[in-house]
Amino acid sequence: MFLKKQTAAAVLTLGFVLSPLLAPNRAEAIPAFSRQHKTECSTCHTIYPELNEFGDAFLKNSYVWPGAKKGAQAAAAPAPEAKPGNEWSRISGLPEQIPISLTGTADFAYDDKAFDGNKTDLSTRSLRLHAGGSFREQVGFFGTYNLYTQGQQRNSPAPVAGDNSSPANSANTPPNNTPNINELFLVWRHALDTPINLKIGRFEPKLSLWKKSNRVVTVPSYASTTYLVGNSPFSIDVPEDGVELNALLGNRIFAAGGLVDRNGQNQKDGYAHLSVKLGGTDFKGHEPELELEGESIWDYLTITTGVFGYWGRNGRFDNLGVAENLNNFRRTGAEMDILYKRLHLKGSGSFGRDTNPMLDLTRTAVDSRAYTFEGEYYLGAPIKLIPLLRYEYQRTAEGGTSRYIPAIAYAPLQNTRLTLEYLFTDAPDGISRIAFASVAFSL
């Protein structure tokens, strides 16, 4: 199906404007953390899945309700231990409700230069299970399981061997629908009565200020945290098997470091992160005291800065599953998050060096760098509408690529998100323009 560019843009815009009218009137269910603490999604999110300050404190507190948040804390139900009749929960350490949520997305794209000529494509859908919570506030846990993930429509090779004319070749068969564990980890909070938390399992190593999912617009992900070099599959926001120690130092310094067990070799990857927060709600969820007689810019300004480093090694597997043609790589980066009233600014930059990113016998080192800048403005209370503008630049062995992304996100319900975005990409192989609309919900 082919549509003219103007017609497609009009359809996208009209669809977005009418989408609130098409949305269901009410939601019967809310995600696991909201059910557990009997509070709104907006307690932890601006527009789902982006975390607000309290949601970030909840995350850093290993999914245990953090310190006071006026209003939100009052709305939350008492902890299970405080309610009568819940002795079984206190004794067993089990959550009162099974802490499982379901997230679904459906995306629609218009690509003027689609490789297969299919300019309009309802191309990707996904379903994902989430589980999270804590046991007696001593152990936190979190997991995500991909039930279904559909990529682009398959154009080759033929599913019927030797028959390229088969209608099955154009079937909308998901090429990468392999159910798998995305994250699954436990956190031993305050291990041995120290400020240190021990995290073990599969998780996204703590490097960036923001998790890959902690963004209003999640596709595409930030270039500064997701870019690849050559044939190396490494990027800093991919979940990996590892062990991490992290701790809050005071209320406004967060430190983390860990080791990653990469397949095919004995050497472990290492990483470290340090972030500092000035103003606003601290990392333990305490809101600042306002000076009612004299306003200060710090009554409304929050600045969080972070630095990180990662060093590791990968390679191409031989028949025995041992990595060869090894590539030693490292990444360093710095980030800043600024929140002033309803204006939210994010900046992220990372630099890297790979000694053999093509994973070839002949080694050629490559230096790389990437930057991301994003500005958001919050509208509504609770926040329902966020217009944003993102600029990205990355330079790898293939050359430099710039990307401009204006977008708008709307939440007709707190557990439902509609987004409309436009991607203008200026890459070494040419310019591309893609309009992208997405519907996501979480139950």
Cα–Cα distance for residue pair 37/43, rounded to 1 Å: 10
Parent domain of 113: 4-68+92-442
Winning range, highest mean pLDDT, from 50-54, 185-189, 213-217: 185-189
Whether the CA torsion 257, 262, 268, 270 is positive or negative: it is: negative
Q: What is the pLDDT of residues 219-265, one digit of tens each?
A: 888 999 999 999 999 999 999 999 999 999 988 999 999 999 988 87
Any idea what the CATH number is for the domain that residue 287 is in? 2.40.160.10
**Residue 74 is assigned to a structural domain of this protein:** no
pLDDT at 123: 64
With tokens 């949305």, the residue in question is 23
Element at 9 (helix H, strand E):
helix 5-22
**Residue 419 is assigned to a structural domain of this protein:** yes
**Residue 355 is assigned to a structural domain of this protein:** yes
Among 4-13, 244-253, 347-356, 427-436, the least confident range: 4-13
| Structural domain count, the chain | 1
C-beta of residue 22 within 8 angstroms of C-beta of residue 437 = no
Residue 440 has pLDDT above 70, yes or no: yes
**Residue 130 is assigned to a structural domain of this protein:** yes
**Residue 78 is assigned to a structural domain of this protein:** no
**Residue 47 is assigned to a structural domain of this protein:** yes
**Residue 302 is assigned to a structural domain of this protein:** yes
Give the model's confidence band at 327: pLDDT under 50 very low, under 70 low, under 90 confident, else very high: very high
Which stretches does DSSP call E strand in 150-297? Answer: 180-188, 196-203, 240-249, 253-260, 269-278
**Residue 86 is assigned to a structural domain of this protein:** no
**Token pair for 145:** 């399981």
Half-sphere exposure of 20 (CA within 13 A, CB side): 9
- Residues with Cβ within 8 Å of residue 437, at least 6 apart in sequence: 12, 15, 16, 107, 108, 109, 418, 419, 420, 421
Average pLDDT over residues 300-308: 95
Give the model's confidence band at 188: pLDDT under 50 very low, under 70 low, under 90 confident, else very high: very high
